[in-house]
Amino acid sequence: MKEKNPKSNLIFGSFPRVLFAIWMIIAVAMNLILSTDLATKIKVLAIFISGASTILFWIAKKPIQKFLLKTKLSLKQKFVLLGSLGAIWVEFEFWFLGIIIFKVPIAAHENFLIDLLVTMPWYILMMFLLWGVQKKNSYSYYAIFVLGGIYDFCNDGLFGTILQVGTVPIGTLILLVIVIPLFAINYSFMVLPASYILKSDESYSPRKGKLPKIFVWILPILGLIVLGSSIYFSIMFLDPSMILFISGAWLIILLIMFFKSKNKNTNL
């Protein structure tokens, strides 16, 4: 299914998009130019790489789409796999820049395999739930781009802060809201390539659900609450090392879900 308005793809054409672009420039200026914190500057650099990776995908999207058509994966599996591979790349470049190049701990863990064990359950779950969101309604690429920023705001922003300090101070919350456009760039390499593969497939036909469109996009956030709660309470009431066990259990469940997805000859 093609995008109804191709000119809107990744372009801030309307007035709200212009405002979002200005918001993005302010966020970049605050974190890259005005900030004196090295870790912040490295994170912005990593986010730029994520954004550049999305642009490179868009340039090469046709050959990638043709390659995926030759695989035996279902459309759902392609969607989840592409988003998950994007997440692995984003985690890798944060880890490589922080731990290997600058020796600054900006990744989830200094051991990359443990980093993936802790972070990938959320990414895979988000892609499964984002699939459900787009199966019910067709969203523009711009909307998906912004939604990715909201999901990252909730995960790395709110949930990450709660894990570190136990709460979200008002000053921190304001700063997190300011950088939502950077969150959007960061997650763009996960949500946009997968969404393109979905939208460009001839079998894609959203089946509108009972909930209004404005509420459907919340689904991944609800998933984060469930997953995050299991991790948070295991740390608070059991043992911090239990996070590896809980994350591993989630990862196994999600991988089973992935391999049990419908074959390519069935509909969505």
Looking at residue 210, what is its pLDDT?
66
CA–CA dist 69, 63 (Å, integer): 10
Instruction: Report pLDDT digits (tens) over 66-123.
Output: 999 889 999 999 999 999 999 999 999 999 999 999 999 898 899 999 999 999 999 9
Give the pLDDT band of residue 21 (cuts 50, 70, 90). confident
pLDDT of 62: 94
C-alpha to C-alpha distance for 21 and 19, rounded to whole angstroms: 5
Please provide the average confidence, as pLDDT, over all residues in the chain: 88
Could you give phi then psi for residue 162, rounded to 5 degrees? -60, -40
CB 138 within 8 A of CB 206: yes
pTM of the predicted structure, to 2 decimals? 0.89
Q: How far apart are CA 242 and CA 263, in angstroms?
A: 35
**Phi and psi at residue 67, in whole multiples of 5°?**
-65, -45
Task: Count Cβ atoms below 10 Å from residue 224 Cβ, excluding itself.
Answer: 19
Q: What is the pLDDT of residue 139?
A: 87
User: How many angstroms separate the CA atoms of 18 and 222, rounded?
Assistant: 30
The C-alpha atoms of residue 176 and residue 189 are separated, in whole angstroms, by 20
What percentage of the chain has pLDDT greater than the value 90?
63
Dump pLDDT digits (tens) for 5-15: 444 444 345 76
